[in-house]
Structure 1
């Protein structure tokens, strides 16, 4: 197949990436677009000791199996279907699904470090930076981690201060100026997402 058009989507924790992606993907036909997420390439936490897990920083580029991530992107470029077990963020109540990622004319690559990883960044045709005010992002993070992932409040706050914010400032903010589109998502307003999807799809001459 021809090289896909690659859209990179990155954002701070709590910027509403999941909300954005759901709205964005629904704007296209299933055979037009496929998504590969950096989150599904975390190095398993069960490879760490209990003490390391308490302080283990998931917000570093080394927490991701970078080579495997890039390899699977390359497979999609070659027209091959990728199979990958979903990462469930150590939640024992969730049974991970086997993801089937099929090649498509549009490839969306999503994750915190996709601009930092040079080999991935060089493949991107269009870059989207999703952001939110820190107070809004923290509130979203607390709701997600306390309810969906079963973390305690002190743990969430420790990681926010010591892991999340420093990683955002070091590995994402420096790339903001090179992005084609910056979306400030403080309200989860569907009109903002729909407008971005419409503009990009029109640019691709898909609709």
Structure 2
């Protein structure tokens, strides 16, 4: 049996940084990180798909049926082959990403608590609370640097789908979380190791992780 931990919060909240910090603290022999972004629907295969108008911030953009099946398998101690999703082609690539059945599976994503069949699988649910302006700045810089987007396109998408999607699908997850981790660093890039460790500390201190913590 594997322990499943959900790390959720808005886009740019620092979910990935926190998830990776937890995995490092627990050790690669005990923990693995799974990204919800691997489980986008195969959008490119949809009839009349248009990436400019498709709402990637709606929970329907996720293949939560497959995610739930894979998380159930991991929880039962079975390894899975996660899909590989291309953010460039908006579709699944051949092959998959092997995910071993280690003791702790850390899953990060914005919609993890929006679908009951997925949310109920988690043994520990964490919501990362980061100010909206910091989240937006991080997303703006990331999408320009990593995805070749223009500032205008990032802003338009944020106002059209990201912000409404956050309020409709992500923010309600706060009430379902076991506890909230507040990122009060106001750092655009979380490079301070000690600051990241402080974010991870309350999660690592949770009693459910006592058996997995390094001494």
Q: TM-score, normalised by structure 2?
A: 0.84
1:29-178 correspondence to structure 2 within 5 Å = 29-47=27-45, 52-90=50-88, 98-178=96-176
Aligned to 2:204: 198
**Paired residues of 1:38 and 1:111 also in contact (CA < 8 A):** yes
Unpaired stretches in structure 2, ≥5 consecutive residues = none
Aligned to 1:183: 181
Q: State the shift of 1:85 in Å.
A: 3.6
Q: Equivalents in 2 of 1:42, 1:110: separation in Å?
A: 13
Q: CA-atom RMSD, angstroms?
A: 2.4
- Please identify runs of 4+ aligned residues in structure 1 that moved more than 6 A: none
Write out per-residue CA displacement over residues 88-145 of structure 1, whole angstroms, 9 at most, x where no aligned residue: 42179xx998421011221222211111110111111211101211111111001111
**Paired residues of 2:19 and 2:106 also in contact (CA < 8 A):** no
1:27 aligned counterpart, secondary structure: helix
Write out per-residue CA displacement over residues 41-98 of structure 1, whole angstroms, 9 at most, x where no aligned residue: 1123423578721111100111111211111112212322111243242179xx9984
**Paired residues of 2:182 and 2:199 also in contact (CA < 8 A):** no
Q: 1:202 to 1:123 in 2, by over 3 A?
A: closer
Q: State the shift of 1:202 in Å.
A: 7.5
Q: Equivalents in 2 of 1:144, 1:51: separation in Å?
A: 25
Unpaired stretches in structure 1, ≥5 consecutive residues = none
Write out per-residue CA displacement over residues 142-191 of structure 1, whole angstroms, 9 at most, x where no aligned residue: 11111101122222111111111111111121221332221222333223
1:86 aligned counterpart, secondary structure: strand
Q: Equivalents in 2 of 1:50, 1:157: separation in Å?
A: 25
